[in-house]
Amino acid sequence: MSIMRHKWMVAGATLLVLGGCASGNKLVGRSDLTIVKENPLPQPDSRDLLLQQREYAVGPLDRVIVDVYGAPDLSRAAQVDAGGNLALPLIGTLAAIGKTSSQIATEVADRLRGKYMRDPRVTVTVDTFNQMVTVDGQVQQPGLYPVSGRMTLIRAVASARGTTQDADTNFVVVFRQVGGRYYAAAYDLQAIRQGQLADPELYANDVVTVGETSSRRLFQTLLQAGAVLAGPAIAILQ
């Protein structure tokens, strides 16, 4: 399918043409950028650390450990089935997919309370993660990597041991399915590394390709125009 037949959207910012922009590798063009003389970097406080994390949402085939305080017969490891359900003794079957471990613990406690225990104390931890992102192309170790907490494009590439010497770090494509539609978004990894662009968040089942020719063909018209990305260029594939 020709690139001209795709429906296009440009999100976040316009595209900047290279002509007359020889300082493309410098921190320029950001109205929110302030240079301060401070070394080393200030340490984050507890609020900053919390903001860096996104509580993990349980998915199909994840393995969780349910601990009911004072009830060893009810405490056990269990696997979420392919349909996203979790079966536990006395509790029955509950829908676990998309819920955090604390939400599952609350639901287990609610089902035990009154009927089986007066004031159940339940904790749930995820023991094995099965939600993955795929990192492919010009990286040192292509493969599947678990999504635990907050996964971003930079972290995904780092999980794959970084890019190869032949990688085009100005061109990375993220493929994602949303609501039955397939999207491809092109990012400038070098600009993200330099702090010129925000590091986009990734989600389970995303596919990242670094500097691959087949991915570049999706954005052939953009590349022939000699533009650099000042924000993600998003193509709707289907």
β-bridge partners, 94: 86
Give the pLDDT confidence score for residue 211 in this predicted structure. Answer: 86
Angle value at C-alpha 173, between 168 and 179, nearest 5 degrees: 180
Tokens standing for residue 193: 């590394």
Terminal C-alpha separation, the chain: 11
For the chain, domains (ranges, CATH) are: 3-26+48-53+131-236 (3.10.560.10), 63-128 (3.30.1950.10)
Q: How far apart are CA 238 and CA 41, in angstroms?
A: 44
Q: How far apart are CA 86 and CA 12, in angstroms?
A: 39
Tens place of pLDDT for every residue, the chain, 238 residues? 333 333 334 333 333 333 333 344 344 444 555 555 555 656 666 766 555 667 788 888 899 999 999 999 999 999 999 889 999 999 999 999 889 999 999 999 999 998 899 999 999 999 888 888 999 999 999 999 988 778 899 999 999 999 999 888 888 989 898 887 888 888 889 889 988 888 999 988 899 999 877 777 777 766 665 555 666 777 777 6
Q: How far apart are CA 116 and CA 40, in angstroms?
A: 55
Q: What is the pTM of this model?
A: 0.64
**Nearest one of 160, 204, 209, 164 to 184, comparing CA atoms:** 209
Tokens standing for residue 71: 């009830």
Give the pLDDT confidence score for residue 135 in this predicted structure. Answer: 95
The CA distances from residue 102 to 98, 105, 120, in Å, are 12, 5, 14
Give the pLDDT confidence score for residue 197 in this predicted structure. Answer: 87
Q: Return the number of other C-beta atoms located less than 10 Å from residue 31's C-beta.
A: 5
Give the pLDDT confidence score for residue 136 in this predicted structure. Answer: 94
Contact 171, 192 (CB under 8 A): no
Tokens standing for residue 115: 């009927």
Give the pLDDT confidence score for residue 60 in this predicted structure. Answer: 85
Residue 78 exposure: Cα atoms within 13 Å on the Cβ side: 22
